[in-house]
Amino acid sequence: MKVAAIIVTFNGINYLKLCLQAVKAQTHQLDEIIVVNNSSTDGTTEWLSGQNYIHHILQPNSGSSGGQYTGIKYAYNKNYDWVWCLDQDIVPSLDALEKLLNSEEARLEKIGFLSSLVLDNNKNISYINVPFIRNFEEILNAILKKDNLPVISSSFGSVLFSRKAIKEVGYPFKKLFIWGDDVEYTMRMIRNGLSGFLILSSIAVHDQLRNSIFPLVEMDVKSCKTKFAMRNSFYVFRLRNKTLYNSNLRGILGCVNFLNTLTRERTKYTGKFELKYFFAALYNLFLALFTPIIKKNYF
């Protein structure tokens, strides 16, 4: 088996160095380590030019989705059997890749993706990396049988994709830019009849300053990241209900409920109701429901 790792980076040189140190030291040796650099301005470009063990791809900033698009397409065209995608602020345990590749689920005919269990710096669950599940019965069965957990999504924190899955569904959708692009990509695999699993023995640490359950409510409503995060979150919640129940109505109701949750949690965080935040969320709900965010050409 040929395995490539892909790390997308933007102005996070200190995070990137820790991530690469762990990736390079994996117990399962990688055939290639690819870093997609979204035109960093913090010295990352210069530092990467001196790392001979890395294939460095420099491109205009196209966010997480555009970076993973470039990396996955490059790896697929080089005929890798598995593609391991990571965020720049992820530090995988030294056997994280080995645990993914050696899992029973990796040998399934219709496997799409295998995700690591992502923790924060204090060894608690990293909320932003928690995958979606199909139902609670699968959690209980996994506990009962001491099996890995079937999931319907994964973050790009630490996730392994099979070549067959990439051939089936294409690449991440670049126009999502950031936030939810990984969920859309992995749920696309589920909708195409492939399987996804959380491999509980494969551990990675998300090196983050704050492990928040609702990070979106803590962002500046004027920031570019918030704009993408809001729109894409509504889209993902709609897509989740479509994937689970094949129901447009449930998707719309799920989005409305998410709007209520965002507004309520923002009020708790700031101590007051912010009309500007509410209307920004309402506008992005409209975009998610009534504009064609995703086109079907993923290649």
Whether residues 180 and 267 share a domain: the answer is: no
Write the burial class of residue 31 (CB in 10 Å: 0-12 exposed, 13-18 middle, 19+ buried): middle
Q: 180 and 154 in contact (C-beta within 8 Å)?
A: no
Would you say residue 295 lies in a domain? no
The CA angle 163-128-211, to the nearest 5 degrees, is 140
Q: Which of these three, 179, 206, 233, is where a domain ends?
A: 206
Whether residues 56 and 80 share a domain: the answer is: yes
Whether residues 201 and 222 share a domain: the answer is: no
Would you say residue 30 lies in a domain? yes
Indicate the SS3 state at residue 183: helix
Would you say residue 61 lies in a domain? yes
pLDDT of residue 293: 65
pLDDT of residue 173: 93
> For tokens 């598995």, what's the residue?
82
Whether residues 116 and 174 share a domain: the answer is: yes
- Distance in angstroms (rounded) separating the CA atoms of residues 142 and 198: 10
Residue ranges of the chain whose pLDDT lies below 70:
293-299
Whether residues 77 and 221 share a domain: the answer is: no
Pairing of strands 111-119, 32-37: unpaired
Whether residues 197 and 223 share a domain: the answer is: no
Would you say residue 296 lies in a domain? no
pLDDT of residue 298: 52
Q: Which of these three, 187, 206, 225, is where a domain ends?
A: 206
Whether residues 166 and 231 share a domain: the answer is: no
Q: What is the CATH number of the domain that holds 50?
A: 3.90.550.60
User: What global pTM score does this model have?
Assistant: 0.93
pLDDT of residue 130: 94
Whether residues 261 and 114 share a domain: the answer is: no
Would you say residue 299 lies in a domain? no
Provide the 8-state DSSP code for 27. S
Q: Which of these three, 206, 236, 262, is where a domain ends?
A: 206
CA dihedral 192, 172, 126, 223 (to 10 degrees): -140
Would you say residue 23 lies in a domain? yes
Say what angle helices 275-290 and 248-270 make with each other, to 10 degrees.
160
Indicate the SS3 state at residue 81: coil
Would you say residue 298 lies in a domain? no
Whether residues 195 and 225 share a domain: the answer is: no
pLDDT of residue 202: 98
Whether residues 92 and 141 share a domain: the answer is: yes
pLDDT of residue 296: 57
Residues above pLDDT 70, as percent of the chain: 98
pLDDT of residue 21: 98
Q: 288 and 255 in contact (C-beta within 8 Å)?
A: yes
Whether residues 182 and 59 share a domain: the answer is: yes
Whether residues 58 and 174 share a domain: the answer is: yes
**Residue range(s) defining the domain that contains residue 30:** 3-206
pLDDT of residue 65: 96
- Distance in angstroms (rounded) separating the CA atoms of residues 82 and 298: 19
Tell which residue, 105, 77, 110, has the closest CA to residue 190.
Answer: 110
**Per the structure block, which two tokens stand in for 59?**
């491109």
Give the count of domains, the chain. 2
Would you say residue 297 lies in a domain? no
Q: 156 and 87 in contact (C-beta within 8 Å)?
A: yes
